[in-house]
Structure 1
Amino acid sequence: MADRYGNDVLSGDWRKPKNGRTVEIAVEKGMVVEEPSSGFVGAVVRWEHGVVDLEDRHGRIKTYPMGPGFWVDGKPVSLQPPKRPGPAKKTKTASGSVAVSNVRAKVARASRIYVEGRHDAELVERVWGDDLRIEGVVIEYMEGIDDLPAIVNRFQPGPGRRLGVLVDHLVEGSKESKLAAQVNNRNVLVVGHPFIDIWEAVKPSSLGIAAWPKIPRGTDWKHGVLETFGWPATDQADVAAAWKHILSKVKSFADLEPELLGRVEELIDFVTQD
């Protein structure tokens, strides 16, 4: 027998509104939106602080609270601010190497890289830290190289226990070059950059200065720099504060001079050779 009353009126989603249920959508500039209670239709021109501005074809602009109560393409919608994108996935390390995710740092190698001072170590860590941890390379600082031959001997370099040394101001005829020449061991590599201090390896453009100043002989170089720039230069705390500011400007290898970049890469290659 035919059903005189048709389908069961309670079957299906009988409570669904004629034009569909309200759905949340993210606002976009230029999106055409209708506010049905007033009949105002306009394109989204801006949004902020929980409100949205619509501009109609006559150039009139009206402001409404964001949320439900709008139509887009004849369907009820709740306008929401666009979601902010999450942090971009890191694809490069600060040194320019390909970033490797989900890889634990290696157990530290017996081989090491020595640098002259704390600032040198902090700068190398800032740019090459990710690479060094993956390779299991530890950076240590010597607090000067006046005893470089003795420092090398105490390390006891040998096969599988290589030592790389980064020296400031390693130029022909300098005190540093004479000390480096005293080291003669196939498992030790001493290289250096031409700068008086590691600070100079940071590009002036990264600091917003024209150039590093020339400091007269006999004047402590770091204090001379601080005085030239008009920065506080009373004690070591002032030097530490200045270095903190300089280091904060180093975001990647692009902020360093190539004379340093090449030498550090050379040392990393040397101490990671099997």
Structure 2
Amino acid sequence: MRSREYGPDLTPPWKRQQPAPKVAAERDLVVEEAATGFCGAVVRCERTAEGFTVTLEDRFGKHRVFPLVPRGFLLEGRVVTLVRPAAAAPAPPRGPGRTASGSVAVPGARARVARESRIYVEGRHDAELVERVWGDDLRIEGVVVEYLEGVDDLPAIVDSFAPGPGRRLGVLVDHLLPGTKEHRIAERVTGDHVLVVGHPYVDVWQAVKPAALGIPAWPAVPRGEVWKEGVCRRLGWPVDTPAAWKRILAAVDGWKDLEPELLGRVEELIDFVTLPGGAGA
């Protein structure tokens, strides 16, 4: 008797789950997540450690993140598989190129030998944001940016650095408001060759414009609650500060994504440490 060979799937054809149509998760496309019923417009797609995800925003402005899985969403009542949208073709160059800070790019320019002058930035996230937007400019100018763990360390750093002609020190600190401890320390160390500036935000996250992240505004977090964790909760993000910061930093393409209160202060520091004849050229 001739043996019969069967495939691994013995489900009758009429019972097999049909593949869902694939739909590009273009921005503002309104879909419903099949498992939870959450309905919202697509804000962004991004790669994470667990795979690709899509962020949806409902009519109340709440954000939720879902994995891009087969048959995971409903579009006008039909089951679909959301996929990443195709990358847009690069626009043809128009005029001179620009760095992320808006400066005219210098193709092929080599980083100059580091100046003696330095910029210190309080906070690791602040330093990473400065590097993302002004990194190209700083390398061309030969300005080294160093991480300042806390403003309490500033007097000792200034003493050790020994500022003077040709050896200037610029410092960017968080939440520099009159009457605060940070402001008193800044006044104590500021001099002809030391400039301390700051932004008014509780955290540098707020220096990123909400529009860059597709949110209406940074949420208010009550005093007594850890601010970053409170932000994550109110935006519907996992309470994972490093992951949240990666998402925020990835949304910054250049100076237009930052608030002017930070832009002006960083530009002021760069000008201060690169003044001709005063910055260790």
Q: Tell me the TM-score normalized by structure 2.
A: 0.63
Runs of at least 5 residues in structure 1 that lack an aligned partner in the other structure: 1-83
Alignment equivalent of 1:268, drawn from 243, 267, 270? 270
After TM superposition, the structure 1 = structure 2 runs for residues 89-238 of structure 1, keeping only pairs within 5 Å, are 91-233=97-239, 238=240
Amino acid in structure 2 at the alignment position of 1:249: A
Q: Shift of the alpha carbon at 1:200?
A: 0.5
Distance in 2 (CA, whole Å) between partners of 1:172 and 1:211 is 25
Moved more, 169-178 or 119-128: 169-178
Deviating beyond 3 angstroms after TM superposition, the runs of 4 or more aligned structure 1 residues are 84-90
Counterpart of 1:254 in structure 2 is 256
Q: Shift of the alpha carbon at 1:87?
A: 7.0
Distance in 2 (CA, whole Å) between partners of 1:202 and 1:146 is 26
Q: Deviations over 1:124-165 (max 9, x none)?
A: 111111110100011111111122212211221111111000
Task: Determine if contact 2:163/2:194 at 8 Å carries over to the other structure.
Answer: yes
Structure 1 vs Structure 2 CA RMSD: 1.7
Distance of aligned partners of 1:202 and 1:85 in 2 relative to their CA distance in 1, 3 Å threshold: closer
Task: Determine if contact 2:190/2:196 at 8 Å carries over to the other structure.
Answer: no
Distance in 1 (CA, whole Å) between partners of 2:244 and 2:263 is 22
Distance in 2 (CA, whole Å) between partners of 1:222 and 1:173 is 24
Q: Shift of the alpha carbon at 1:231?
A: 1.8
Counterpart of 1:10 in structure 2 is none
Q: Deviations over 1:185-242 (max 9, x none)?
A: 2110001111111110000111111111122222222112112222222xxxx21111
Distance in 1 (CA, whole Å) between partners of 2:179 and 2:224 is 18
Q: Shift of the alpha carbon at 1:175?
A: 2.3
Amino acid in structure 2 at the alignment position of 1:270: F
Alignment coverage as a number of residue pairs: 187
After TM superposition, the structure 1 = structure 2 runs for residues 57-68 of structure 1, keeping only pairs within 5 Å, are none
Amino acid in structure 1 at the alignment position of 2:198: G
Amino acid in structure 2 at the alignment position of 1:246: I
